[in-house]
Amino acid sequence: MTASFSLRPMSLGELLDRSFFLYRKHFPLFVGIVALPYLAVLGFQIIGVRVRSGTATMTFTAMTVVWALGSIVIYLGAVAASQGATVMAVSRVHLGNDATISESFAGIKGRILYLALIMIGVGIGVGIGFILLIVPGVILALMWALTIPVAVLEDKGLRDATSRSSELTKGSRGRIFMIYFLFMVLTYIVILLWEVPIFAALGMFAHGQRPMTALPIWTQIAFPVCSFLSQCLVGPLLTIALSLVYYDQRVRKEAFDLQLMMSTLDSAQGGTTTPAAI
């Protein structure tokens, strides 16, 4: 291991700084990890525009429903793959090792469906919480914020991963809330930077014409393309930050820094302990 960063408890500011530092230093890595699975989503959306534009009116509704279901399946797979591989990449570079896009995806080989199901389970639980006057949903989202890092790095199922996340996040849910809030604001800012010019162009295009019954084809293509670019640019940041929170909480609660040091010494002496799995 060639770590130049000393593991220690970090403040909120230090976590954010470390997140942006890793993102900038390994920009091609993290953007590439997100871009690869989301290319499938983008391709499916663009094909959908072409299919819907050539579909008869009487079959349009059925085709829309089928395409929407397909989009959901592909989207869930892309989210699971990108987040899982990003967690693997953060784990390696944060601990001072090299990481590549192929190695990051290899680390979750055969587990994409498993991670997607965990995300669905967490989403359903948080969604029910939001239905119950919003506050329970926020609390559950904060409690389960580290579920994916736990599931990826410790290979745990839904119940064990959520339970482990609840334990790790105790005492730090306020700063996790701030991390969620800051990155959500950043995401919406980036999205608006793409969408405002599109809506402006659409308004100029429609000015003086009869009311449009459907969006022009170019806008139906522009919106998913801009969404893809936004996801590639800002999508990795929240996952990077939450992965760092996972390690930070382990340092605070479990002296992970000392465990890592001991495992490094064991490895130097011929041991086989894997630091990320301690």
Q: Is the pLDDT of residue 160 over 90?
A: yes
Q: Higher-confidence residue: 7 or 187?
A: 187
Of 274, 255, 234, give the one whose Cα is nearest residue 95.
Answer: 274
Mean pLDDT to the nearest integer, 172-200: 86
pLDDT one-digit tens code per residue, 64-100: 777 778 888 899 999 999 999 999 999 999 988 899 9
Task: Report the pLDDT value the prediction gives residue 22, as an integer from 0 to 100.
Answer: 95
Q: Higher-confidence residue: 56 or 199?
A: 199
pLDDT band at 3 (very low <50, low <70, confident <90, very high): very low
Of 268, 235, 277, give the one whose Cα is nearest residue 81.
Answer: 235
Of 239, 235, 203, give the one whose Cα is nearest residue 42.
Answer: 235
Q: Is the pLDDT of residue 13 over 50?
A: yes
pLDDT one-digit tens code per residue, 191-233: 888 777 776 766 666 555 555 555 667 777 878 888 888 889 9
pLDDT one-digit tens code per residue, 15-54: 999 999 999 999 999 999 999 999 998 888 888 777 666 5
Q: Is the pLDDT of residue 265 over 60?
A: no
pLDDT one-digit tens code per residue, 90-137: 999 998 889 999 999 999 998 999 999 999 999 999 999 888 777 888
Of 256, 233, 236, 234, give the one whose Cα is nearest residue 246.
Answer: 256
Give the Cα separation of 207 and 216 in Å (integer): 13
SS3 per-residue string spanning the chain: CCCCCCCCCCCHHHHHHHHHHHHHHCHHHHHHHHHHHHHHHHHHHHHHHHHHHCCCHHHHHHHHHHHHHHHHHHHHHHHHHHHHHHHHHHHHHHCCCCCCHHHHHHCCCCCHHHHHHHHHHHHHHHHHHHHCCCHHHHHHHHHCCCHHHHHHHHCCCHHHHHHHHHHHHCCCHHHHHHHHHHHHHHHHHHHHHHHHHHHHHHHHHHCCCCCCCCCCHHHHHHHHHHHHHHHHHHHHHHHHHHHHHHHHHHHHHHCHHHHHHHHHHHHHCCCCCCHHHC
Q: Higher-confidence residue: 208 or 234?
A: 234
Residue 166 burial by Cβ neighbours in a 10 Å radius (0-12, 13-18, 19+): middle
